[in-house]
Structure 1
Amino acid sequence: MMGAATEPAALPEDPPPQGFPVVGIGASAGGLAAFEAFFSGLPAADPGMAFVLVQHLDPNHKSILADLIRRYTRLPVFEVEDGLVVRPNCVYVIPPGHDLALLNGALQLLEPTEPRGLRLPIDFFFRSLAQEQRERAIGIVLSGTGSDGTQGVRAIKGEGGMVMAQNPASTEFDGMPRSAIGTGVVDYELLPAEMPESLIAYAKHAFGKLPKSAILPVPKVENALKKIFILLRAQTGHDFSQYKPSTIGRRIERRMAVHQIEGIDGYVKYLQQTPAEVEALFRDMLIGVTGFFRDPEVFQVLEEKVIPALFAGKSPGAVIRVWIAGCSTGEEAYSLAMLLVEHMEAIKASFTVQLFATDIDSRAIATARVGRYPVSIAADLSPERLARFFTADGGGYRIHKSIRDLLVFSEQDVIKEPPFSKLDLLSCRNLLIYLGAELQKKLIPLFHFALKPDGWLFLGTSEGVG
């Protein structure tokens, strides 16, 4: 009988929030000129969205950012006070010396826990924006040094939001936008003055009315979807036809909004003419939320109960086999590797640990193999683990070679390629939720076959074997 290390039961997925989009704009060095250009380019008509500005500020000086922004926009500009409710057609500016989060429609100020220089206020706000607004979250990264905003834009895209970055050639300091663009999730790379027009056009298509696909006859939509699946399979080799229609539909509608394409038939034609868009849609299908030790309480159960059980009754030198299916950019795989190493040290015994981590996204696998991550991962790791398993590397952190060498990362489609076997632990979190019922029925017996009789299956919050 295989054990199941599932996370606590979750409520059904919430519907996307109603109302208006909230646009988070992050900047650091060189940001004032970029903010000026952005707001100077904002049309006179009400944009129907709120803007929240997160700038790296000196905590020892009063900020003049709100006064500067007022010169370039007729929208009301507020320096944020704790609990301020966000309203459309307003601009909100972070005060010095605070982190900022959005909760239940209001802005909350928090005292920073990290010393100045290590703080990542843009990532902090973007993550809360993604969780709060989901599809209606929009993140913009402007001029600045470092990589603040990089993890945040991944979170926004993971929830179905939209992301822009300043064209690096137009910045005073290109570190932040270049780092964001390097994730592969940025939808628009523009000059700040060009952003408002694209932003408003996107919002009009994405939120202004029901998508055309929602009011077309069902057979017509299904026929268009089949054509999209054919184009995806022909170019990428992967079949999305048995993924959940709701997931597929949201991703397609988002891409249509990015390009301001009205009807799904028009999008099919655009895909036929634009191989780069087929690739972009494929990447959008794969984006999920990941991180080191994501859902800490779940990893605590793994650390205290599951990991010790993997070693129980085994002689030193025995083999422990683990497969992480759908590993994305490697954070979860490395988290499991750290737990295994820590346990071997705790019991003062050495075992042969084999970790196989797979994903269908070749770019994600390439990132995972390198094992280099932005400084913002410090928010997800204890100082002890960060010091022990990582080294500072060019404005970020790289996981030690001793941990990287435990893992074999490979590109694999779990749906059509044979699984690994004789596994002690199989982790497949937050993949099944994207798959239709037929695919789920196919995968669970396959997982059962891959595991040893006493192996453990680690699933996501709202997933099960039933």
Structure 2
Amino acid sequence: MKKKNNSKRSPVNKTEITSKNNSFYIVGLGASAGGLEALEKFFGNMNEKSGMAFIVVSHLDPNHISIMPELIQKSTRMKIFNAKDGMKVEPNNVYVAPANRDLAILHGTIQLIEPPEAHGFRLPIDYFFKSLSVDLGEKAICIILSGMASDGTAGLKAVKSELGMVMVQDPKSAKFDGMPSSAIKTGLADFILRPEEMPAQLINFTSQKVKGVLLNTAITDGKIPDAFQKIFILLRTRTGHDFSFYKQNTLYRRVERRMNVAQLDSLPNYIRMLQENPAEIENLFKELLIGVTNFFRDPESFDRLKKLLMNLVKSKPEKSQIRMWVPGCSTGEEAYSIAIILKECINETKKNFDVQIFATDIDSDAIDKARNGSYSGIESDVSRERLKFFFTSSGSHYLIRKEIREMLVFAPQSIIKDPPFTKLDLIACRNLLIYFNSELQKKIIPLFHYSLLPSGILFLGSSETISGYVDLFSIIDKKWKFYKRRDSVYSAQPFIEFPVSRAIEKTYETDMKKNEIINIPQLAEKIILQNYTPNCVIVSEHGDILYIHGETGKYLELSDGEAKMNILEMAREGLQQELTAMIRKVKSGKKLLSAEGIRVKTNGRSQLINLTVKPVKEPAVMQG
């Protein structure tokens, strides 16, 4: 017998089942200078019965009583409220935040927080958007309107990471384009529109009903549905990355969000769009990589890290090497945070070291942003002292100082298919493993053990674990997930099983025209399939690696110093001399060469391998 629902709100329908606390969308609007005009145009075109609630946060003088509610009321028939502590947010109403309080939301109820410094620097829009993202999840929508500086930029990242929607005013229509331009630079805006155009798009987005994605019974049995197999193939062909190892629920929710944005109601229609519109494949790729990243996330964990790094610095000999790796570094905030902490330890001990921090990600655009080291809206995450010593500022933008940037090497790299860095003092892999399924996690943890020096430190996210590998790591800090590499006779593994791309069962034949220009991953997979090669590396004539297939960690290893993806420099002991000679002979003779019984040293043990070097007769970009 079903219980009667006495709630005054409408019952949650199938497409709303994943919302956190509300069955309706809450729209947060952030505005500053020039924002009143934008708000009037927005509400003047918004249906009074949209089913959404609206919360307006702006930069107001805390010493003056705001008349913004009265001004907005002239443009809409919806009820306008001055936001008050404990007020329940209801649909078809507008709530305006007061000037002298930060506004948060908890279980759909407004909470007003007195700022630490009443007249100090504040980012009220960021503060609210972050709270909105946690409370509403995918039912959160944030809109950034006219304003100077960059308030709202950090907050929109949080909204997007929780599968919410982001809308930004077209800078051309804004009186002051600082806030909209800063938001657009993140690459996370779903829609860039004039204020009067936003209501119609909001209605389309919130009324869109996606069918047969999350609630498809075929998904819950652990098997990957054929429709998602096709999406994985399209992603892999376009980007070179296999997402079939990622957690299924995460993938399905992000695909569903993209379908909502595209206003498509079925997977077959979305697959057709991916096939016809390569730009949407890129959009989906970016969507799958979105995660929360900011400077010194979980400050207490970085306080603990500083103590551990101080011990490391004190124990290391003067002018020795310190090597670290930050996989899944995104746009670099966490990697720079670690570099700053390490620099503080080095300065305090007055010692000198050769520091190498490798920060990697599969998103090349994110890597480019990280290399630039330019950020905005970070004042709430970085102390004034650190902003002064480790950044240079220009308005609301901050640039990492050269002495910190020179400690890091940013590079595109896949933790799933590329060789790992080795001889490391620290690996900081926070909030990446949570996106991988258990099968892949069980391969990554031993890989980290292999990459670390004895007593090296592994730093994971607060909701991540070592997946039962207690023989490989001991716990340093249970709360903040610091582990120390353990040397154990029971954990000695001669060969690490490096993760590889899963073979998709269905074969799709592609006719290659003689003069067709194709990308390297497509060509590489064609060559591999033609020759049924279990493990191989495709290189240029100079030995530069173009593509890796299979478990190559037994044969290749990144060396100390500057990261170079060259097979001759990465070849393990016993392989380098033979490989160099064979590549040289194949280049001159243009014929296949094979050698058997080559002894290669791996992890202190030797193995015998068979090696084949074959010339590739394909477009010039691949010849070698």
Which TM-score bucket, shorter chain as reference?
Answer: over 0.9
Distance 1:224 1:456, change over 3 A: same
Q: Aligned equivalents of 1:418 and 1:116: distance in 2? A: 51
Q: Which of these residues, 323, 338, 341, is aligned with residue 340 of structure 2?
A: 338
Q: Aligned equivalents of 1:50 and 1:268: distance in 2? A: 33
Q: Which of these residues, 266, 269, 286, is aligned with residue 269 of structure 2?
A: 266
Q: Which residue of 2 aligns with 1:415?
A: 416
Pairing of 1:37-436 with structure 2 (within 5 A)? 37-44=41-48, 46-114=49-117, 118-205=121-208, 211-216=211-216, 218=218, 222-304=225-307, 306-374=308-376, 376-436=377-437
DSSP-derived class of the 1:316 partner: coil
State the shift of 1:60 in Å: 2.3
Q: Aligned equivalents of 1:446 and 1:320: distance in 2? A: 19
> In 2, are the aligned partners of 1:26 and 1:53 still within 8 Å (CA)?
yes
State the shift of 1:329 in Å: 0.9
Q: Aligned equivalents of 1:16 and 1:413: distance in 2? A: 32
DSSP-derived class of the 1:85 partner: coil
State the shift of 1:430 in Å: 0.6
> In 1, are the aligned partners of 2:83 and 2:110 still within 8 Å (CA)?
yes
Amino acid at match of 1:384: E
Cα deviation 1:265-324 (Å, max 9, x = unaligned):
1100011111111111111111100111101111111112x2133234321111111000
Distance 1:215 1:303, change over 3 A: closer
Q: Which residue of 2 aligns with 1:446?
A: 447
State the shift of 1:128 in Å: 1.0
Distance 1:15 1:168, change over 3 A: closer
Cα deviation 1:15-44 (Å, max 9, x = unaligned):
733422111001111111111111111124
Q: Which residue of 2 aligns with 1:463?
A: 464
State the shift of 1:449 in Å: 1.0
Cα deviation 1:122-168 (Å, max 9, x = unaligned):
11111111121111111000111111111111111111111000111
Q: Aligned equivalents of 1:196 and 1:266: distance in 2? A: 25
Amino acid at match of 1:290: T
DSSP-derived class of the 1:185 partner: coil
Amino acid at match of 2:212: K
> In 2, are the aligned partners of 1:221 and 1:264 still within 8 Å (CA)?
no
* Structure 2 gap segments, 5+ residues each: 1-17, 468-624
Q: Aligned equivalents of 2:215 and 2:417: distance in 1? A: 34
Of 260-269 and 433-442, deviating more is 433-442
> In 2, are the aligned partners of 1:52 and 1:92 still within 8 Å (CA)?
yes
DSSP-derived class of the 2:168 partner: strand
Distance 1:221 1:199, change over 3 A: farther
State the shift of 1:217 in Å: 5.5
> In 1, are the aligned partners of 2:19 and 2:138 still within 8 Å (CA)?
no
> In 2, are the aligned partners of 1:211 and 1:253 still within 8 Å (CA)?
no
Distance 1:116 1:236, change over 3 A: farther
Q: What TM-score, normalized to structure 1?
A: 0.92
Distance 1:154 1:214, change over 3 A: closer
Q: Aligned equivalents of 2:39 and 2:217: distance in 1? A: 44
> In 2, are the aligned partners of 1:244 and 1:434 still within 8 Å (CA)?
yes
Q: Aligned equivalents of 1:278 and 1:330: distance in 2? A: 24
DSSP-derived class of the 1:35 partner: helix
> In 2, are the aligned partners of 1:213 and 1:221 still within 8 Å (CA)?
no
> In 2, are the aligned partners of 1:138 and 1:163 still within 8 Å (CA)?
yes
> In 1, are the aligned partners of 2:19 and 2:136 still within 8 Å (CA)?
no
Cα deviation 1:225-251 (Å, max 9, x = unaligned):
111111111111111111100000010
Q: Aligned equivalents of 1:114 and 1:379: distance in 2? A: 12
Q: Which residue of 1 aligns with 2:543?
A: none
Amino acid at match of 2:239: T
Q: Aligned equivalents of 1:139 and 1:88: distance in 2? A: 16
Q: Aligned equivalents of 2:240 and 2:247: distance in 1? A: 19
Amino acid at match of 1:390: F
Quick check: 1:35 aligned with 2:36?
A: no
> In 2, are the aligned partners of 1:252 and 1:281 still within 8 Å (CA)?
yes
Distance 1:373 1:261, change over 3 A: same
Q: Aligned equivalents of 1:198 and 1:116: distance in 2? A: 37
Amino acid at match of 2:39: F
Q: Aligned equivalents of 1:112 and 1:301: distance in 2? A: 27
* Structure 1 gap segments, 5+ residues each: 1-13
> In 1, are the aligned partners of 2:26 and 2:141 still within 8 Å (CA)?
yes
Distance 1:163 1:413, change over 3 A: same
Q: Aligned equivalents of 1:214 and 1:307: distance in 2? A: 44
In terms of Rg, which structure is larger? 2
Of 449-458 and 248-257, deviating more is 449-458
Q: Aligned equivalents of 1:236 and 1:285: distance in 2? A: 12
Of 443-452 and 244-253, deviating more is 443-452
- The alignment covers a number of residue pairs equal to 447
Q: Aligned equivalents of 1:224 and 1:175: distance in 2? A: 42
Quick check: 1:22 aligned with 2:36?
A: no
State the shift of 1:112 in Å: 3.0
Cα deviation 1:400-430 (Å, max 9, x = unaligned):
1110111001111111000100000001111
Q: Aligned equivalents of 1:266 and 1:167: distance in 2? A: 29
State the shift of 1:115 in Å: 6.7
State the shift of 1:169 in Å: 1.1
Distance 1:372 1:117, change over 3 A: farther
User: Which structure's relative contact order is higher, taking Cα pairs within 8 Å and 6+ residues apart?
Assistant: 1
